[in-house]
Amino acid sequence: MSIIAIVIITLLTILLCVSSFFMIKFALLLLKVEDALEESIAVLDTRQESISKILEIPLFYDSVEVRRVHSDIEDCRESILLVAEALSKNVSSKNFGETNLEEKEKN
């Protein structure tokens, strides 16, 4: 083999190693982000359930401030649901984090 062929093969091998390193590094970063999103969705789900339980309690106090706080809690619950749906829409895991929206799309 000629010197030029050896140099080209060596250069291509080095480029392959460098690109493989960065591809693996990027893949691990994506997996960490996906895990973080799944944990966030789980926390949002538990918070939404606890807020829903609070909102099911009848409100007997006629104060405007109490009703405003009750309304704010309902708004917070809706925003939590929107965030959870937005996060879980792009998560590719099939075992965790499927939302009702994804289940409806399948049917």
> For residues 54 and 69, what is the distance between their CA atoms, to the nearest angstrom?
12
Q: What confidence tens digit (pLDDT) does each residue in 10-41 have?
A: 999 999 999 999 999 999 988 888 888 778 77
> For residues 29 and 23, what is the distance between their CA atoms, to the nearest angstrom?
10
Q: What pLDDT is recorded for position 91?
A: 57
Q: To the nearest whole number, what is the mean pLDDT of the chain?
A: 76
* 101: pLDDT strictly greater than 60: no
Q: What pLDDT is recorded for position 11?
A: 96
Q: What pLDDT is recorded for position 98?
A: 47
Kindly state the tokens that stand for 89.
Answer: 């829409």
Q: What is the DSSP letter of 59?
A: -
Q: What pLDDT is recorded for position 7?
A: 94
Cα dihedral 11, 14, 19, 25 in deg (nearest 10): -170
